[in-house]
A and B are shown apart, each in its own frame.
Chain A
């Protein structure tokens, strides 16, 4: 297979697979000559591997051969003055490729620290589970946004309007969206007490299927399966701004009493929050997307910040098993704060005594 290109300063670049390997043949321009040509190789199936430079071709050289015969894509970059031009990534089929060795599966030692961290976390979790069984009244601090759910549902019932609930953009493989579905169950249970309809436009079909099940289950648990209407949980669009536009239209037409935005959001977050505000609804938001948090804090009545969304189901249910997992996270946060503080103090002291700097270096290497 041969690929031919013509770029500034180069009449012809030929990339072809041969028995010897991959050949990159260059014919420099007659009038305009490129300063140099660099060839890169990358394995696009393995994005963790960064592209490597195979070398440069400088006039009067015209040839570069990659004899490794390993899988990969090639990119030819032409340097002309201050400018550079790329051919784009090219997949070259080799005439007689070396058969790939069966990869040996082994433990990745570079991830030992992560494994230790997870094992410690799990051990502490099991210990706190045990504590929670003995004393089910484990303390969790107040989360104002979740306390406001009852108030928002009550107000909506008084106004005789529906609730609009969204988990944002993304599929069910996103933990924030799963956490959003757990809050949905609580909101639906509360709303069933006052017969307030919960409308949920969806951006993803998988989330739609899960949301329907969650809502159906919530109505069943509260003894009102008759309130479930499949059409209330519907698919809007998978396009980001189409979704924002559809949601805005719904809010403006229906004037909901409360809007809940619990899940994962991108640039559409502010469009949703502002439209909800303009429609006169009580707005409660929760997201793990740090870039969108300021928008929600600025424009919503209540906001769950970061991991508060993950804690929501435990906070609502007060199930000791779930509370134990929240406590584990809190203990680890405290531990991290101690390590960071000690590291900061030692790093500052290293100005006076370099030995403290050595301690900081050891700490950083251990955590890397």
Chain B
């Protein structure tokens, strides 16, 4: 029964939600069911607090990360006591003139914003790894991502030809200075000159390429986002939708029980 009880509750709840979804005028019933779920999750928060305090108390007892766990325990109780004090003193901990609000605005929010802003650096490091042209797929990703990044900046129609010119020039230079077989000279100056000429030739070819692309990088960016990217996205959405229905049916029929003891 310990195993079957929760499964029966899940099956009945799922059937209830499915049936009320197809009924008009059953919105109030759904709202009450939602309120019940919120009340239950409110009680579960106590479980979280219990786990948090026990975990860090045990860490302190065992001498593991004593400093971090100590800081957490002190911060936790300080915040709770401060919150209750502000409630008593100002009517609400989040009242505009409340000292708890000061704590929230000057300690919590900057810390939260700091973590969020670190994301910019992680994006750069992840992009560096992802954009290395190791194979043909990665090369396509690199080119597409570069076009979209340039297309999204201000004055992209001016920046794009300049960026493409510099890129093509450097590409030509790199090919000639690194590929001895192509030019065959050991003299760095001559190899550099060859690269310079090849890069220049690429740049001369640029206007027809740019015109071929429609002469408007923003339009190309929009097309990339709304056609190829959207097509892939919708494919994943379709798969997700059917996957969700299949998974929900497995739970409803009691086939999928690995989430329960």
Contact check, A214 vs B259: say whether CB atoms are below 8 A apart.
Answer: yes
Q: Is the CB of A328 within 8 A of B246?
A: yes
Please pick, from A210, A299, A314, A321, the residue contacting B259 in the complex, using a CB distance under 8 A: A210
At the interface, yes or no: A213 with Cβ under 8 Å from chain B? Answer: yes
Q: Is there contact, CB below 8 Å, between B44 and A205? A: yes
On whether the beta carbons of B242 and A329 are closer than 8 Å, the reply is yes
B250 pairs with A322, CB closer than 8 A: yes
Cβ of A336 and Cβ of B238 under 8 Å apart?
Answer: yes
CA distance A234 to B64 in the complex (A): 15
Asked if A288 is at the interface of the complex by the 8 Å CB criterion, the answer is: yes
Partner of A333, one of B27, B58, B116, B238: B238
B130 at the interface (CB under 8 A from A): yes
User: Residues of B contacting A299 with CB < 8 Å?
Assistant: 122, 126, 129-130
Name B's interface SS: helix
Q: Chain A's nearest CB lies how many Å from the CB of B172?
A: 29
Smallest Cβ-Cβ distance to A296: which chain B residue: B126
**Chain A residues, Cβ within 8 Å of B240:** 288, 290, 306-307, 310
Flag if A298 contacts B129 (CB, 8 Å): yes
Q: Are B122 and A231 in contact (CB under 8 A)?
A: no
B242: shortest Cβ distance to chain A, in Å? 4
Q: Establish whether residues A122 and B247, one from each chain, have CB atoms under 8 Å apart when the complex forms.
A: no
**B contact residues around A171 at 8 Å (CB):** 41
Q: How far is A171 from B34 in the complex, measured between Cα atoms in Å? A: 14
Interchain CA distance A205-B52 in the complex, whole Å: 10
- Does chain B have a CB within 8 A of A35? no
| A270 in contact with B126 given A121-B249, A179-B247, A214-B259 (CB within 8 Å) | yes
Q: Does B233 make an interface contact (CB < 8 A)?
A: yes
Interface residue from A209, A241, A273, A307 paired with B44 (Cβ < 8 Å): A209
- Tally inter-chain residue pairs, CB-CB below 8 A: 189
Task: Determine if B227 is an interface residue (Cβ-Cβ < 8 Å).
Answer: no
Task: Name the contact of B126 in the complex, choosing from A202, A295, A319 (C-beta under 8 A).
Answer: A295
CB distance A122 to B238 under 8 Å?
A: no
Cα–Cα distance between A253 and B66 once the two chains are bound (Å): 13
Contact partners of B111 in chain A: CB under 8 A: 241-242, 245
Q: Assuming the A-B contacts A106-B24, A253-B65, A271-B118, are A205 and B256 also in contact, with contact meaning beta carbons closer than 8 angstroms in the complex? A: no
Which of B125, B238, B240, B248 counts the most A-chain CB atoms under 10 A from its CB? B240
Query: Does A175 lie within 8 Å of B247, measured CB to CB?
Result: yes
Within the complex, what minimum Cβ distance (angstroms) separates A231 from chain B? 6
Beta-carbon contact of A208 and B51 below 8 Å: yes
B48: contacting residue among A106, A185, A208, A307, CB under 8 A: A208
- Nearest-neighbor residue (CB-CB) of B68 within chain A: A249
Q: Is the CB of B55 within 8 A of A235?
A: yes
* Chain B stretch 25-66: residues in CB contact (< 8 A) with chain A: 25-28, 31, 37, 40-41, 44-49, 51-52, 54-55, 58, 65
Distance between Cα atoms of A46 and B34 in the complex (Å): 13
B78 within 8 A of A: no
In the complex, the answer to whether B129 meets A181 with C-beta atoms within 8 Å is: no
Q: Would B249 and A325 count as touching, CB distance under 8 A?
A: yes
- Give the interface size bracket for B toward A: 35 or more
Interface centre among A172, A210, A313, by most chain B C-beta atoms within 10 angstroms, is A313
**Which A residues, 301 to 350, have Cβ-Cβ distances below 8 Å to chain B?**
305-307, 309-311, 313-314, 317, 319, 321-322, 325-326, 328-330, 332-333, 336
The answer to whether B259 and A182 have CB atoms under 8 Å apart is: yes
Given contacts A208-B51, A235-B55, contact A175 B248 (CB under 8 A): yes
Say yes or no: A231 contacts B250, CB within 8 Å: no
Q: Given known contacts A205-B51, A214-B259, is B119 in contact with A270 (CB within 8 Å)?
A: yes
Q: Mark B220-261, 1 if CB is under 8 A from A, else 0.
A: 000000000000010011111011111111110001101111
B122 & A271 in contact (Cβ 8 Å cutoff): yes
Give chain A residues whose Cβ lies under 8 Å from the Cβ of B52: 234-237
Chain A: CB-nearest residue to B28: A103
Selected contact of A104 from candidates B25, B55, B118, B119, CB within 8 Å: B25
Complex contact B261–A217 (CB within 8 A): yes
Instruction: Please give the distance in Å from A144's CB to the nearest CB on chain B.
Output: 15
Q: CB-defined interface of A249-281 with B at 8 Å, one 1/0 digit per residue?
A: 100010000000000000100110110000000
Q: Give min CB distance, A138 to chain B, whole Å.
A: 13
- CB 8 Å contact bits of B117-138 with A (1 = contact, 0 = none): 0110011011101100000000
Whether B246 and A329, one on each chain, are in contact in the complex, defined by CB atoms closer than 8 angstroms, is yes
A107 at the interface (CB under 8 A from B): yes
Residues of chain A within 8 A of B9, CB atoms compared: none
- Inter-chain CA distance A326–B44, complex, in Å, is 33
Q: Kindly list chain B residues whose C-beta atoms are within 8 Å of the C-beta of A325.
A: 246-247, 249-250, 255
**Residue in B23, B233, B245 whose beta carbon sits within 8 Å of that of A121 in the complex:** B245
By the criterion CB–CB under 8 Å, are B24 and A46 in contact?
Answer: no
Instruction: Report whether A209 and B37 are in contact in the complex, using a CB–CB cutoff of 8 Å.
Output: no
Contacts A122-B249, A306-B236 known; A245 to B48 CB distance under 8 Å? no
Contact partners of B212 in chain A: CB under 8 A: none
What is the minimal beta-carbon distance from A150 to any residue of chain B, in angstroms?
18
CB contact between B55 and one of A234, A271, A321 (< 8 Å): that residue: A234
Instruction: List 7 extra interface pairs beyond A206-B41, A245-B115, A330-B242, CB under 8 A.
Output: A45-B31, A105-B23, A108-B23, A235-B48, A290-B233, A290-B240, A336-B242
A-B contact pairs, 6 of them (CB 8 A): A103-B25, A214-B258, A214-B261, A216-B261, A270-B123, A336-B242
The 6 closest A-B pairs by CB, nearest first: A307-B243, A205-B48, A298-B130, A241-B115, A103-B25, A310-B243
